[in-house]
Chain A
Amino acid sequence: MKIKYFDHAATTKLNEDVLKEMLPYLTEEYGNPSSIYSLGRSNKKAIEDAREKVAKVFNADAKEIYFTGSGSESDNTAIKGVAYANRKKGNHIITTKIEHPAVLDTCKSLEKDGFEVTYLNVDSEGLVDLEELKNAITDKTILITIMFANNEIGTIQPIEEIGKIAKQHKIYFHTDAVQAVGNIDIDVNKLNIDLLSLSAHKFYGPKGVGALYVRKTVRFNKFIDGGHQERNKRAGTENVAGIVGLSKAIEMAYEKLDENNRHLKELRDLYISEIEEKIPYVKLNGHREKRLPGNANISFKFIEGESLLLNLDIKGICASSGSACTSGSLDPSHVLLAIGLIHEVAHGSLRVTFGIENTKEDVIELITELEEIVNRLREMSPLYEDFVDGTYTM
């Protein structure tokens, strides 16, 4: 059975041209970049060329790019690195309730160590309120960390305005841009971003490699002690093949940004409009316009997300749900609850994230399957029965 993949926010398929660029560094170019002989030097050069390419995308300087092992590591490094290096200035951090766990859990861990964190609310479409942000700032605030675009509902935050506010108050601004990079044009100077996290496997690059942009003027602590790699900020022999792959993938993503976005938006808008027309009792989660080009998150009322995913899987279709929660917990997705969904509607959410290899035909097939599955699950749902009887409303 041919797999139909609609989960590009989870990960993407490695691009073949990217793989080709990586392969030499997994085979004959096996030198350690820190070694002095030519086999080492060629690896060092590959890393520095990659750094240049990544910097260029963001209108940054190559010295401001650090390679890491993942988007989560970049988030950890940025937040903890800034927090501990600037502790004398203050101990207050501002973030939002809808961040990725890599940011939320890092903030929670800092709270245990004497830092204070404000978790901003978002509105029903997932946007932060700039007034609430301004009001949260105190003379102890050292860092604002707000995601560029949300991984679940796709809502894009007013990053430029947030950057302005941070700059006015001389507070560092970090953004987790893991979902945005490869989808949105980002100029760190225009947007006043001081730190930015990204991960290669979200834009057709390899897994296990990320990067962190850090403005030259930002003081931050090193994250891994040891060797002098990454300008003494992140010890450990570099993942050369991964870094080369990341740089090739990001270069390709931005070469074709407009073309790819047009395609993704066409698929996304087709999916959303057809679902809204053909299936009753659905709710689009996130902002209708200010959302990632490939993201569609829709709740199907009266049914539960996992059973929806299993049914899709039987048909070879891959997607995600914010239904049940991290093992051991009782709540569905923290993002869906933060935008005000009641639990049962949050349980029925389906996130579909399109990629460049998806076609219109794929989307039509997905819609057809969904119509049938949603009908079948509603037929066996006691909530739907009660709704039809008029004894239950949502």
Chain B
Amino acid sequence: MYSKKVMDHYEHPRNVGQIVGADGVGKVGNPVCGDIMKIYLKIKDNVIVDVKFKTFGCGAAIATSSISTELVKGKTIEEALDITNKRVVDELDGLPPAKMHCSVLAEEAIKAAIADYYTKKGMSKEDIDKVCSLKNTVCVHSHDIGQE
């Protein structure tokens, strides 16, 4: 059901952990759906110099978080904001249809972390909304028990 790339990121997730004194922290998802992603950013001169994540969720949620941290590391904030969920899916060689929401969650987590950074910088909520347009994610799952 998962591509080799997803399983690789799942088995060997990159950039797991937290950054003490992070410049921006984004937390999205909710425990009811079964997915929570938290991304920590260290930003210097508009560049994301370090990134870490923690995720509660399925294999796809962990893999999308992991690849997203790779995608934003060393990038400018503007470049990071350009990363779409589609890009996340493509980088993982696809996701099962029921797991597409995990890629949206990853995109949202990055944006939420950047929004937090801007908030700390004193930017107004309206201006943040303009640059970090957040969507509302929907959770969809597949299940094993009950079908046997």
Q: Determine chain A's interface SS by DSSP, over half rule.
A: loop
A window 369-394: CB within 8 A of B? 379-385
| Whole-angstrom CA separation of A351 from B143 in the bound complex | 13
**Chain B residues within 8 Å of A309, by CB:** 144
Provide the bound-state CA to CA distance between A328 and B59, in Å. Answer: 17
B52 to chain A, nearest CB (A): 10
* Tally of B interface residues using CB under 8 Å: 36
B10 within 8 A of A: yes
- Cβ of B58 and Cβ of A323 under 8 Å apart? yes
Closest to A11 in B: B148
Given the complex, which residues of A lie within 8 Å of B146, measured CB to CB? Answer: 100-101, 151-152, 326, 333-334
Complex CA–CA separation, A314 to B7 (angstroms): 10
Assess the B143–A326 pair: CB atoms within 8 A: yes
Q: Give the residue of A100, A304, A314, A382 whose beta carbon is less than 8 angstroms from that of B58.
A: A304
Given the complex of chains A and B, what is the CA–CA distance between A100 and B56 in angstroms? 28
A210 to chain B, nearest CB (A): 13
Nearest residue (CB) in A for B52 is A380
Question: Nearest-CB distance from A322 to chain B (Å)?
Answer: 5
Within 8 A of A (CB), among B50-71: 53-59, 61-62
Number of A-B contacts (CB under 8 A): 114
User: Within residues 90 to 119 of chain A, which ones have a CB less than 8 A from any CB in chain B?
Assistant: 100-101
Question: B83 interface residue, CB < 8 Å from A?
Answer: no
> A130 near B: Cβ within 8 Å?
no
With contacts A11-B148, A333-B146, A383-B31 taken as known, whether A306 is within 8 angstroms of B58 at the C-beta atoms is: yes
Q: Contacts A324-B143, A326-B146, A385-B54 given: A310-B59 contact, CB under 8 Å? A: yes
- Mark B30-57 against chain A: 1 for CB-CB distance below 8 A, else 0: 0111111110000000000000011111
Residue of A with least CB distance to B62: A307
Nearest CB of chain B from residue A261's CB, rounded to whole Å: 22
- What CA separation (Å) do A150 and B108 show in the bound complex? 39
A320 at the interface (CB under 8 A from B): yes
A–B Cβ pairs within 8 angstroms, 11 of them: A152-B145, A303-B56, A304-B56, A304-B61, A310-B59, A323-B58, A333-B146, A344-B31, A351-B145, A381-B54, A382-B38
Interface positions of B (Cβ within 8 A of A): 7, 10-11, 13, 16-18, 27, 31-38, 53-59, 61-62, 98, 139-148
